[in-house]
């Protein structure tokens, strides 16, 4: 997905967040061999499909499983390597939330090579690996699950079928040339999203190994904990060892200006830039807080059925995340003025 090259020799491109809306579909391709093979197999221009969920965040399914990414870290050698599609009719806010929630609930799900191949060669029997994903299935199912059919068979769709869908329209000029500092940001390593992906994969892989069950997503963890309550201590230990509970501390260290308006003013000198950040982030922060509150409610519901250590440490975490979200929201509100 990251087609980075040396910016000294050639312009690189980023998605223009001013052109994007939640639930837009991002189609991409690269010059890499795997991408070429997918395009040959599907007879299409693009090899990958991604769901944009707002606030610079997107969700896709790769060989690393379903994960969240930041469009600010997605560089393209040419505008031809990326295309943005949007559902041509209006979608109500509640439906947009549901489409995004479906994709978020799949985070952690393993990638299925056989299922992706089956979609590519157009052998589309009844779905075999329901607890697995590949890129175009994730996007098509997210829409289908909420009553919007963008392809004939959401279980076995391809990026090219999404590209040719008569239910979608292209967003023109969705990419722009990246500034040097943006290229530098995109090429950073050991980011909080990478840490989050690694910690979540650690939890899922360790829990699968411990219990011998096909657990794929965090959405499934609560039920598994209740089902295997005798392993509460072990699962609680896995969460602590993963680093997942302390990711918020990393963000405080890396982005202190998001939590203190005086530091925000010091870091962002340009007043128009501050206002732009405030306006954009205040919108995405509402979605972030809503997601945290939904997760907290689910955790408290599980804890009411059976008080367990694994529930307790996660409840404490999401209460902290909501507290931090409120602090950021206050900074965004001040920045907007």
Q: Tell me the C-alpha distance between 127 and 106, whole Å.
A: 16
Which pLDDT does position 109 carry in this prediction? 82
Q: Please tell me the pTM assigned to this model.
A: 0.80
Domain residues of the chain, as ranges?
Answer: 13-177, 189-336
Residue in 133, 157, 295 with CA at minimum distance from that of residue 216: 133
How far is Cα 337 from Cα 329, in angstroms, rounded to an integer? 13
pLDDT tens for each residue of the chain, 337 residues long: 444 434 345 889 999 999 999 999 999 998 777 777 777 767 778 989 999 999 899 999 887 888 888 999 999 999 999 999 999 999 999 999 999 999 998 888 877 655 555 555 455 555 555 656 788 899 999 999 999 999 998 888 889 999 999 999 999 999 999 998 889 888 888 788 899 989 999 999 999 999 998 888 877 888 899 999 999 999 999 999 999 999 999 999 999 999 999 999 999 989 998 999 999 899 899 999 999 999 999 999 999 999 999 999 999 999 999 999 999 999 999 999 8
User: Under CATH, which number does the domain 13-177 receive?
Assistant: 3.90.1720.10
What DSSP character marks residue 133? B
C-alpha–C-alpha distance, residues 173 and 66, integer Å: 27
pLDDT score of 6: 41
């Amino acid at each position: 997905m990251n087609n980075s090259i040396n910016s000294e020799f050639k312009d690189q491109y980023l998605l223009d967040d001013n052109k994007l809306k939640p639930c837009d579909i991002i189609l991409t391709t690269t010059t890499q061999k795997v991408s070429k093979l997918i395009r040959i197999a599907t007879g299409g221009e693009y090899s990958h499909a991604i769901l944009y969920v707002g606030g610079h965040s997107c969700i896709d399914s790769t060989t690393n499983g379903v994960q969240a990414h930041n469009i600010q870290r997605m560089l393209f050698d040419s505008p031809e390597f990326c295309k943005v599609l949007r559902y041509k009719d209006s979608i109500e806010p509640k439906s947009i939330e549901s489409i995004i929630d479906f994709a978020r609930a799949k985070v952690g799900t393993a990638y299925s090579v056989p299922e992706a191949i089956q979609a590519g060669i157009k052998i589309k029997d009844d779905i075999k690996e329901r607890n697995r994903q590949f890129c175009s299935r994730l996007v098509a199912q997210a829409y289908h699950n909420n009553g919007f059919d963008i392809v004939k068979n959401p279980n076995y769709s391809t990026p090219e079928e999404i590209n040719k869908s008569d239910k979608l329209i292209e967003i023109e000029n969705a990419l722009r040339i990246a500034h040097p500092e943006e290229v530098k940001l995109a090429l950073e390593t050991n980011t909080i999203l990478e840490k989050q992906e690694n910690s979540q994969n650690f939890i899922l892989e360790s829990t699968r190994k411990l219990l011998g069950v096909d657990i794929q997503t965090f959405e499934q963890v609560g039920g598994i904990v209740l089902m295997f309550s005798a392993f509460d201590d072990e699962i609680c230990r896995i969460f602590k060892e993963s680093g997942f509970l302390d990711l918020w501390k990393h963000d405080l260290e890396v982005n202190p200006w998001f939590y203190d308006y005086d530091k925000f003013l010091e870091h962002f000198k340009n007043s128009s830039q501050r206002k732009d950040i405030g306006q954009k982030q205040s919108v995405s922060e509402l979605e972030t807080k809503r997601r945290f509150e939904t997760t907290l409610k689910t955790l408290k519901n599980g804890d009411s059925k059976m008080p367990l250590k694994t529930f307790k440490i996660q409840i404490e975490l999401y209460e902290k995340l909501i507290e931090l979200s409120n602090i950021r929201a206050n900074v965004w509100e001040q920045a907007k003025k």
